[in-house]
Structure 1
Amino acid sequence: MPTTPEYGVDLITFYDPSFWGVNSYDEIMEIRHKNPVQIWTTIFDALSEAGITAIEMTFPPADVSSALDAFGSAEGFKTELQRRGLKLKSSFHMGSGWGPGGDRNAEVAKAVEHATFLAEAGGDTLVVGPPMRKSRDANPPLFIDHAFASAVADTAHAVGNATLRLGVKTALHTEAHSMFCTRRDIDLLLGLTDPEYVFFCPDTAHITLAGGNPIDAVVAHSERVVIAHWKDAVGPMPAGLPIEGEKIHELHQGYMCTLGEGVVDWDRWITLYDKTQGSDVRLLELDAVADPIKEMKAAKAFVENASAQNAASGSSPGQASQAHEKRS
């Protein structure tokens, strides 16, 4: 592990309307269309104040299209990041069409376009959200079986091969209520994909929401972790919730919380993560918080403190777990 890992955030951190002085996401998008430079300047200023140096781009308004509108090119975006002492690490990409019946060539083309921007702007990881499940009472039902996972794996291979040629790794993200969120799901899809081409982006909160333990779910695949979303949760969500539509993502946020206030065992997580390929960047993900500067500072301080305690005690994962229980 580097002596001093960098800290980053996913830019969804800034999507609470109150941070922008408006009342809705649609009004944030109005700002984006009228003045995309304002979106990025506001975010960059907040990152600098919080001591965060790396970013993961995501869906609008802090996405590739708005960066191009604001800075003209990937190189222009990179230049502005460097001027401010920031860097692009990764970007979130929707893989909703990766299942059976999807247009693989089209999916590869979209991923290549996204990864091309990433590479030119200095990033190295395309984080992919896999297809979502359907509600349990859906008719017809959607079974996440070997055939479904194999279709996703085939597309992941095609995309992973194409992005690697650009210097960008494709990493699968564990979105709750997707086909890649439980320990069984993770074992299935990673078991079907070649580790030379397809990598892993675990999300500690989303694995928790799906009823799992992030450490238990990740440890068998830790050699494939190139990035992770560091996020806390109060516990698993109830089974049988309706999944279709955007409401399920809103429900997710109700179960997420400030780092250290949930059930994620951060001592064991730090010990595990610091041995992975992604140990150079700790990506904090704070979904749409009202005061992102305060929350970023608090999250960074919490992780730094936990890391210092681990280092001081020379704790193993088991010993770190005991320390976590004492602090809790």
Structure 2
Amino acid sequence: MTPRFATDVITFYHPDFWGLDSADAVRAWALAHPVAFWERVMDALTESGVTGIELTFAPGDIASALRAFGSASAFGGELAARGLSVVSAFIADSDAPDWRDGDRLPEIVADAERRAGFLAEVGAELLVAGLPMRATFGTRPPFFVDAAYMSRMADVAHAVGEAVSRHGVRLALHTESHSTLWYERDIDLFMALTDPRYVWLCPDSCHIALGDGDPVAVARRHAPRIALAHWKDAVGPIDVHLTIDETVYARQQPYMTELGEGIVDWRGWAQAMSRTPGAGTVLIELDEAADPVAALRAGTSVAQASLIAAV
């Protein structure tokens, strides 16, 4: 089976791609010109040969698509006219309800159902979420990612997974750096505590490697539950305790690199991915590429070579 190639809309957030001078300027321009934003993203996707997208935080979010085109079906029609489609949507909004607040479970579920309704209408089947972030090491009082904490997260995931399943959408949890689903042990514990019929996994090869984990080993252990994966490379594990605040994502960037230039075993990863339910999609993740078309073509080439070598 030949997979379709996809990418996260974050790939197109680099200011140079828009001829602007900052990320804030890109967000402001896209907010004011949502149709022009999406048309340029779609044109670049078509030029790169990548046909799938994962929606994420603004400006490439569900709200932006609705502002631009009025409805999920209209957005889907614009994509389809170019041979494109939505693969998934990532709950990455800063105002999304916090899973750590158990009193907000009805709000958490309603928010997920709203997103799932959009995905169903646009023809996509995956809602991707991350667990809450860890606390900076040394913080007092300490925050422990223990069995009790993971049990609470599993309860939320079950409620969300069951709710979105009624829309024909699957919930997949992403292995984000510095989150409570980062280390191999976190992933194994969370997967053991959740029902495979309602909770799926979206492993990120880069983020697992940044936590000094083995992405291939994780993929092999949890292959039956991988609905989607993010293909991304890392230069090496993060060897310091980063402060976990709104700047942590920017400070992770020096540890990330383009596919084939880091430490991820792409042949092993491709072999593991071929045995998963998500084998039909290869999502190349490239955070803010100055030349997204060239970067996507290069990433796709590495992924294709890995898939051929893995046969």
- Which amino acid in the other structure matches residue 173 of structure 2? L
- Paired residues for 1:1-328 under 5 Å: 2=1, 4-94=2-92, 97-99=98-100, 101-243=102-244, 245-311=245-311
Structure 2 length normalisation: TM-score? 0.97
Deviation at 1:28, TM superposition (A): 0.8
Instruction: Flag the 1:96–1:288 CA change in 2: closer, same or farther, 3 A.
Output: farther
Letter aligned with residue 308 of structure 1: I
Determine if contact 2:97/2:108 at 8 Å carries over to the other structure. Answer: no
- Counterpart code for 2:140: N
Q: Do the aligned residues in 1 keep the contact of 2:219 with 2:269 (CA within 8 Å)? A: no
1:162-183 Cα offsets, whole Å, 9 max, x none, are 0011011000000011000111
**TM-score, reference length from structure 1:** 0.92
Cα drift, residue 302 of structure 1: 1.3
Instruction: Give the equivalent residue in structure 2 for 1:325.
Output: none
Cα offset, 1:218, TM superposition: 2.5
Counterparts of 1:109 and 1:205, CA distance in 2: 31
After superposition, the C-alpha distances for 1:93-119 in whole angstroms (9 at most, x for unaligned) are 147711254511111111111111111
> Measured at CA, do residues 228 and 148 of structure 1 come closer, stay the same or move farther in structure 2, by a change above 3 Å?
same
Task: Point out where structure 1 has 5 or more consecutive residues left out of the alignment.
Answer: 312-328
Alpha-carbon distance in 2 for matches of 1:139, 1:262: 35
Instruction: Report if the CA contact (8 A) 1:96-1:132 is conserved.
Output: no
Structure 1 CA distance, aligned partners of 2:33 and 2:292?
A: 21
Partner of 2:304: helix, strand, or coil?
A: helix
Query: Alpha carbon RMSD of aligned pairs, Å?
Result: 1.2
1:277 CA displacement:
0.2
Find the residue that maps to 1:103 and give its secondary structure.
Answer: helix
1:35-86, Cα deviation, whole Å (9 max, x unpaired): 1001100100000000000110000001111100100000100111111100
Q: Which amino acid aligns with 2:62?
A: V
Aligned counterparts of 2:298 and 2:277: Cα–Cα separation in 1: 25
Contact 1:32 1:39 in 2 (8 A): yes
CA distance in structure 2 between the aligned counterparts of 1:179 and 1:258, rounded to whole angstroms: 25
The CA distance in 1 between the partners of 2:251 and 2:103, in whole Å, is 27
Shift of residue 140, structure 1, vs aligned partner? 1.5
Deviation, structure 1 residue 308: 2.2
Partner Cα separation in structure 2 for residue 138 and residue 101 of structure 1: 22
Q: d(CA) in 2 for partners of 1:21 and 1:253?
A: 21
Identity of paired residues, percent?
A: 45
CA deviation string 1:128-147 (max 9, x = no partner): 01100000121211111111
Structure 1 contact 214–264 (Cα < 8 Å) conserved: yes
| Alpha-carbon distance in structure 2 between the residues aligned to 1:35 and 1:101 | 37
Contact 1:133-1:177 at 8 Å conserved across structures: yes
Q: Which whole-Å CA distance do the structure 2 matches of 1:125 and 1:279 have between them?
A: 14
CA contact (8 A) 1:74 1:121 kept: yes
Check whether the contact 1:96–1:130 (CA below 8 A) recurs between aligned residues.
no
- Long gaps (5+) in structure 2: none
| Runs of 4+, deviation exceeding 4 Å | none
SS in 1 for 2:127: strand
**SS of 1:208's equivalent?**
helix
Alpha-carbon shift at residue 306 of structure 1 (Å) = 2.3
Secondary structure (helix, strand or coil) at the match of 2:39 reads: helix
| CA–CA distance in structure 1, aligned partners of residues 194 and 282 of structure 2 | 25
Q: How big is the shift at 1:220?
A: 1.3
Question: Equivalents in 1 of 2:147, 2:97: separation in Å?
Answer: 17
Matched letter for residue 193 of structure 1: T
Contact 1:96–1:129 (CA under 8 A) maintained in structure 2: no
CA distance in 2, matches of 1:152, 1:275: 27
